[in-house]
Amino acid sequence: MNKLSLVLSTNISAVVTIVFITAITIAGELYKVVGADGKMVNPIKDYLKALHGHHWVGKGVWAVALFVILSCILYFTLRNKKDDRSIAWTLSLLTWALVLGTLAIFGFFTYEFAISH
């Protein structure tokens, strides 16, 4: 097993998963349509709820699946990688994705709370 490829693939997969969770969380809140009964519905959240029982569970299941599948694909794609500097770069990218994703979700819900009250 090439440990360098494993670290790189999981770091990149984690970045993509963070972006996915951030995007689907914000999109799920913003994308609302009028249902047949005249009430506002959230199609993304309703779809996740229909598949998994709750939209939070659905996001978790999709995030784990995305992470595992992408990690496997990238591991085999990057298995001949020899550059140790790539680890520092992907860890930096992962750190920034985590910070920006957290700030985006926190900022979005803070804004939503502020305009609704």
pLDDT band at 3 (very low <50, low <70, confident <90, very high): confident
**Residue 114 maps to a domain:** no
CA dihedral 58, 14, 67, 57 (to 10 degrees): -10
**Residue 74 maps to a domain:** yes
**Residue 51 maps to a domain:** yes
Please compute, for residue 29, the number of CA atoms within 13 A of its CA located in the half-sphere on the CB side: 13
Measured distance CA(88)–CA(69) in Å, rounded? 23
Residue 1 has pLDDT above 80, yes or no: no
**Residue 115 maps to a domain:** no
The proportion of the chain whose per-residue pLDDT surpasses 70, expressed as a percent, equals: 100
Q: How many domains does the chain have?
A: 1
Domain that holds residue 65: 3-108
**Residue 24 maps to a domain:** yes
Q: What is the structure's pLDDT at 100? A: 98
Residue 49 has pLDDT above 90, yes or no: yes
The mean pLDDT of 53-73, rounded to a whole number, is 96
Measured distance CA(58)–CA(66) in Å, rounded? 12
**Residue 117 maps to a domain:** no
